[in-house]
Amino acid sequence: SCSNLFEPSSFQHSTPRPTYSRKANATFLTLARNSDLAGVIHSMKQVEGRFNRDRHYPWVFLNDEPFTEEFIRCTSAVTSAKTHYGQIPRDQWVQPDFIDEDRATKARKALSKIRGVFYADSVSYRNMCRFYSGFFYRQPLLQDFKYYWRVEPDINYRCEIEYDPFLYMEDNNKAYGFTISVPEQKETTPTLWDTSMEFFNQNPQYLHPNNAMRFASKDEGKTWTRCTYWTNFEIGDLDFFRGSEGYNKYFEHLETAGGFYYERWGDAPMHGIAISLLLDRERIHHFDDIAYEHTGWEQCPDPLTPAYERGRCSCDYGNSMAVKWKRYSCQADFDAALAVPRINTE
Ligand code: GDP
Ligand code: MN
């Protein structure tokens, strides 16, 4: 049985909700290993309990290995919505052949010697970062969907989500939504910015005239703020990723440079740069009203505001990015990016 994987629910659903007549063409997206099952169930209960129990958006699960019968049975038991399970093609997961393995091994060893670098020595983490940079949106199970909402194991939604963020994206023509923004570590990405600028200098046609460059750079591209949208939460328009020639060529440029393996380029810095430079900044949305927590970092409303009570929140504002972790938040850079005067492109 799956019952040993279930924790007692920490919140009650008291108010019945209306029946919703409108729905977006959207899905939750979870990449996971079979060993992540307990954490995935935890996350699903969060999402279902705070939002999806009466919205019934489906779930897509992806894995580089076949999912076990247990994983499928236990995850499908948590939701009343449809669940889909897919295996990622090997060439979209493992280190490509053109990567010089000696150089990659040496790089991993060198990075592991630096204190405090997460996943310095891990090849599978690098596979994951490359996958989420260039391949997630090409998976057959996602082809018929327009929006995805990324869900990782062991995340928490600590307030009710009282409206439909997918419909918000649709109604406001948003292409990318985030909750938390943080700077990437220096050691994992020594040449990512210069490699990116090389691409955008050679292909300036892909830079959107009303981009959010200021999020990524304070000096028109000379140096990087290291700011990223924290990608373990993201709601995105798959048509953007699938259809953007700039995004796909930019990914190819990074892929060829090899930094996913010679360094440890993450999908967060890659998405951060791509989203900020390729999109009209008005298509990027900060979901400041979604209370979200992962690995101790959280976004939580001030309990002195009505939103806290109304959302039956159970988060600690004192621990939020706006308070305790403010020095790590890139919110000020995002706000500055949105404040840049627009260019009249009519
Ligand atoms: P962190 O949040 O950056 O510490 O990274 P996680 O360990 O949470 O990994 C990010 C996401 O990728 C999670 O959804 C993981 O379940 C998933 N993931 C990481 N490594 C692997 C892997 O080797 N195989 C599969 N299938 N999923 C992975
Ligand atoms: Mn995680």
Span between the terminal Cα atoms of the chain, in Å? 61
Q: Record the pTM.
A: 0.96
Residues with CB under 5 A from ligand 2 (ion): 152, 232
Distance 125 CA to ligand 1 centre (A): 7
Counting Cα atoms < 13 Å in the Cβ hemisphere of 216 gives: 26
The answer as to CATH 3.90.550.10 being correct for domain 24-339 is yes
Residue 261 and residue 97: Cα distance in Å, rounded? Answer: 11
Q: List the beta strands (DSSP E) in 230-276.
A: 234-237
Which ligand neighbours the alpha carbon of 33 most closely? 1
- Once rounded to an integer, what is the mean pLDDT over residues 96-103? 98
Q: Are 157 and 50 in contact (CB under 8 A)?
A: yes
Counting Cα atoms < 13 Å in the Cβ hemisphere of 175 gives: 20
Q: 48, 160, 170, 234: which is the annotated catalytic residue?
A: 234
Complex ipTM above 0.90?
yes
The pair of three-digit structure tokens given for residue 244, joined into one six-digit string: 């953007």
Residues with CB under 6 A from ligand 1: 31-33, 36, 63-64, 124-125, 128, 152-153, 232
Q: Is 234 a catalytic residue?
A: yes
Residue 307 and residue 322: Cα distance in Å, rounded? Answer: 16
Q: Are 220 and 201 in contact (CB under 8 A)?
A: no
Residue 12: pLDDT over 60: no
The pair of three-digit structure tokens given for residue 233, joined into one six-digit string: 């939460």
> Could you report the per-residue pLDDT of 227-255, keeping only the tens digit for each?
999 999 999 999 999 999 999 999 999 99
Question: How does DSSP classify residue 15?
Answer: S
Which ligand neighbours the alpha carbon of 36 most closely? 1
The pair of three-digit structure tokens given for residue 209, joined into one six-digit string: 């005239």
Q: What is the mean pLDDT of the chain?
A: 95
Q: 10 pLDDT band (50/70/90 cuts)?
A: very low
Torsion angle (degrees, nearest 10) of CA 118, 300, 40, 52:
-150
Residue 11: pLDDT over 70: no
In this structure, how many other beta carbons lie within 10 angstroms of the beta carbon of residue 63?
A: 19
